[in-house]
Chain A
Amino acid sequence: MLTKDLLKYSVTRQRRIFPRFLDTHNKQLLAVAQELIDIYTTGNGLSMEELGEMTHPVVTAYRSPVVAKGLNKLLLNRCRFKESEEALPDLRMRVFSITNTLLKEPGFDQLSVFRDELAKRCDSDAETLSQQLYSDLPIRQPLISLKPIEAEMLLHRYNTAQVQGLLIRAASMDLEIDEPDVGLRREILRFLRFFRLLATIRKTGTSRVSITIDGPMSLLQNSQKYGFQMACFFPAVCALSNWQLTASIKISQRPARLELDHTTGLKTHFTRISGYRPDSFSHFADNFEQLDSPWRIRKNPPLLDLGQQEIIVPDFTFKHPDQGVVHLEMFHRWHAAALNRRLKTVSQNRKKKQIPLLIGVDRFLSKDKATKSVLDGSPWFQEHGVLFNDFPTVKSILKGLKSFL
């Protein structure tokens, strides 16, 4: 992602934001990108400091150094540097102790005499010891590898990063999706769950879905933590064939509007949309499968239509050989209002048990006074609810599933 100083955009008088996207076929830009890629690709063994010296002329020579800096930053994010060695702090403390002794002694007014004597006591020579003393600084660590990328893809990555950098400051985001691929449509909704975004999802046509993503403090203050989640979600949107995005973003303390759609030409850098799962979800699924239990996890949870055009995207769906399926929906720290709404819906259907929904609530959220009273007053949650810290354990979920038997 790009930091604020590396973003390039303009804001019109009507408070509309226009990110300055790069022309991904521009020969000059492709040349700069390639030059930077070449430095890092052939730079194995060079330190970040040395690489900085090599990239500096390329960055400053380009007519817009901010753009070149942005490209360089994205490449640095793809670099893996060697971890520093552990032995040097001990060497340093030994050297400093000798410095302490020698500085107090007479006869060392000449710096060179002092340096030679000190190095001698460390079984080294002054020049070598000087160079070794701070050679373990991260900035002096050698490059091990660069995650490969082609010049054109780097420019695409830059364009997406421009939007992500703006979305970090978003107060809200509206998405209209028209995606004929059912699998892709379902996956994008699941991505909302992966990034713990608070969303209202409405089905507006056979293949059309309208999503409103709201920030928890959007009314009063921007929360960058939440904005970061929105930014991480955005590349998944770029994988869709037909989409429109409108976001409200605070620029210079005033709201401005960002409008984008699939015609902008933004490309996702997610290599796999379909089938992607964050590690926490994969670990949970793997651990659950290892339990001695008749319940099984379904690989692709279905979307649940609540009626009135509202859709639920379960985090997991479990199948029991005799009792059918139960869905799990998790509510994190930002989801107070959504939890409230969901408990109302499920309690209306309680007698019919139309929606076999197990409700997981983050303890962080459950400690909130208003939420606590809602949870305490919900017979559904008392019967089919589970509390968790950040992510539920398989045992707690299994216990919750038994409430449906």
Chain B
Amino acid sequence: MRITGTAEAVEPVSQYLLWDDRMECYRAEGRYYGVIVLTLHRLKAPYQDDARLFETQQFQTTNDFPPRPHQEKALQAWLKAGRRGVVVLPTGSGKTLVARLAITHTQRNTIILVPTIDLLHQWYEQMCEAFGMDVGLLGGGENRLETITISTYDSALIHMERIGNQFGFMVCDECHHLPAANTRMAAVMSIAPFRLGLTATPEREDGAEEDLYALLGPVVHRSEITELEGTFLAPYRLETVPVVLDPDEREAYDTAYAQYRGFAQASGISFSHPNGWTRFIQVCARSREGRAAFAAYRMQKQLARASRAKLRMVWLLLRRHNSEQSILFTDDNATAYTIGETFFLPVITHKTKVSERKKMLDAFRQGKIPSVVTSRVLNEGVDVPEVSVAIIVSGSGSVREHVQRLGRILRPREGKQAVLYELVSEDTAETYTSERRRQHLAYMSKP
């Protein structure tokens, strides 16, 4: 981009610029392209734009579903905000349609970023069908650019320095992933002035959602699960199932719990303090007693996560819902495989090969396998319409994780009543973890 005039000519946009001695020119991150051009344009300052390689397009959808009220509201709010911002909609409430409408309203070369290969393929199929044209793909072994291109965040990160000026509109699906240290560079290097973020849960435990808003724009619309339940989302009920440990496991749990808590107390560590956990790890590493305390911590956690009583309860629920498909969620891979080996069920973790995962999910969609066990990979972004039962065998205290897990069973279907079971080992630290993760309207509004 060439700005003509004296040194003062760059003054209005100087906050976005850095002088590069090596090339003797100013440099700016791609993300500031829109604001720089807009500022210069408004000031009628002369400039030559060699950065932009995207064009105005004539995208037309071939099958026009009328948007539902919440989708229309989201679109209008985004347009009003200058075609930048984050739309928060629950899983299953039609985020893709909002993106499709935004693309037809914006009419610029568009890149859609997604976090997983599964989502890459889902978006590809939906966009090809919606626009009746070939859509580009980056990731999963594909490297083909079209006027609408779908890319994984990882591939976008690799290619953005080359293709960052070819798209005027950027859609980020499951955009709460964007603020990660490396991933955010995909949005930094892109010059797309128009940006749309889609997510069910923008809030992050590390507080990095502020970075998300800086990269894409603020939250412009939010619909909650409770607003859409029964109309555009399946009605659901929640059942917290207390699990009583067997006497021997109870005794082992209590001993281990007392040992690690006692050690923490003696070391002056409070777990309610923000650095409590980090300090505990540090202190544990320093002495034999500390290492024993850490082993005790791991043991009590494992007992609470996957006790014999929990496995019996899982079997009971599987039999109770033997005519329905279900997803079983765990907090760790070891428990997922224990369940898989005990009940001869498919386990999908990050260790599962992509080809086998696809095979399993295809069979699951076709109803050829009854249930899937997973630790975290199915928390979000996998479209499994027929599932109406979710069993949380164990989980973290993350509200986002818990809301996303609920979202897996909310895709509406005629006559569907979804149910989410949460197994909680009674009188263990799990009770507190469960309370923490249920701090969301979707859970708090239910008895």
Contacts and interface: CB of A to CB of B under 8 A. Distances in A.
A89 B323 CA distance: 25
Contacts of A182: none
A103 B162 contact: no
B50 interface: yes
A90 to B, nearest CB: 10
A96 B162 contact: no
B370 A60 contact: no
A220 B18 contact: yes
Contact of B319 (A99, A109, A138, A367): A109
Given A96-B369, A103-B370, A220-B27, A64 B285 contact: yes
A350 to B, nearest CB: 24
A65 B345 contact: no
A270 interface: no
A2 interface: no
Interface string B343-359: 11111000101001001
Given A109-B319, A133-B341, A219-B27, A89 B18 contact: no
Nearest to A84: B353
A131 B337 CA distance: 11
Contacts of B288: 61
B322 A364 contact: no
B340 A99 contact: no
A interface residue count range (under 10 / 10 to 19 / 20 to 34 / 35 or more): 35 or more
A60 B291 contact: yes
B145 interface: no
Contacts, number: 87
A139 B323 CA distance: 34
Interface in A56-81: 60-61, 63-65
B80 interface: no
A118 B285 contact: no
B22 A93 contact: no
Contacts of A369: 50
Interface in B315-335: 315, 318-319, 322-323
Contacts of A281: none
B318 A103 contact: yes
Interface in A86-118: 89, 92-93, 95-100, 103-104, 108-109, 111, 115, 118
A130 interface: yes
A394 to B, nearest CB: 25
A97 B20 CA distance: 63
A199 interface: no
Contacts of A92: 346, 356
Contact of B343 (A63, A99, A109, A224): A99
A397 to B, nearest CB: 25
B50 A103 contact: no
B345 to A, nearest CB: 6
B188 A221 contact: yes
A131 B370 contact: no
A134 interface: yes
A135 to B, nearest CB: 10
Contacts of B370: 96, 99-100, 103-104
Given A97-B368, A100-B369, A118-B344, 13 more contacts: A60-B294, A61-B288, A61-B291, A96-B360, A99-B344, A103-B319, A115-B342, A134-B347, A137-B351, A219-B18, A220-B29, A224-B182, A369-B50
Interface of A: 60-61, 63-65, 89, 92-93, 95-100, 103-104, 108-109, 111, 115, 118, 129-131, 133-134, 137-139, 214, 219-221, 224, 337, 364, 367, 369
18 contacts: A60-B291, A61-B291, A65-B285, A93-B363, A96-B363, A97-B363, A97-B368, A97-B369, A109-B319, A111-B312, A111-B342, A115-B342, A130-B342, A138-B351, A219-B20, A219-B22, A220-B27, A367-B162
